[in-house]
Amino acid sequence: MKIDPFASRRIHFLGEQDGPPEQDLKRQLSDYLRCEHEIKKAYLVQIAYDAASTPKVALCLVGEQTNIRQVVLCVETIFKELFQTTECIEVLFLNELQKSEVNLVARPFYASDGADSCRPN
């Protein structure tokens, strides 16, 4: 796991990642995120860092960044268990500009309603 809190590269949001496998991922991530009260919104989108890079799937989060390591570890575990892969999913915490940009290409699959709806496993 690599956490780069000072990513200086420009991110291009290409579009929402959606399909039957992604719906399963979004459901499992939503269940987890309900217990992470600092996360307010989540998007599953394709991103690219530049025109020459291969698009990647990213979980884009809006919220506090005090629990980054735990959030990334849990997201990676959910992703790897669901897809049975050694690949990783990008996990990004969005700044204000990125929040505006992602909203142009995708809708959040998770939005906190402020209620404590955490279900124990």
pLDDT (tens digit, 9 = 90+) per residue, 68-119?
889 999 999 999 999 988 888 899 999 999 999 999 999 999 999 877 566 5
Res 88: pLDDT = 84
- Mean of the pLDDT values across residues 65-69? 83
- The reply to whether 5 falls in a domain is no
Instruction: Return the beta strands (E) in the chain as ranges.
Output: 12-16, 39-48, 56-63, 90-93, 110-111
The boundaries of the domain holding residue 99 are 12-111
The CATH number linked to 55 is 3.30.300
Quick check: 42 and 108 in contact, CB under 8 A?
yes
Q: Is the pLDDT of residue 121 over 60?
A: no
- The reply to whether 1 falls in a domain is no
At 24-54, the pLDDT tens digits run: 999 999 999 998 888 999 999 999 988 788 8
First-to-last CA distance in the chain?
Answer: 24
Count of structural domains within the chain: 1
The pTM of the full predicted model, rounded to 2 decimals, is: 0.86
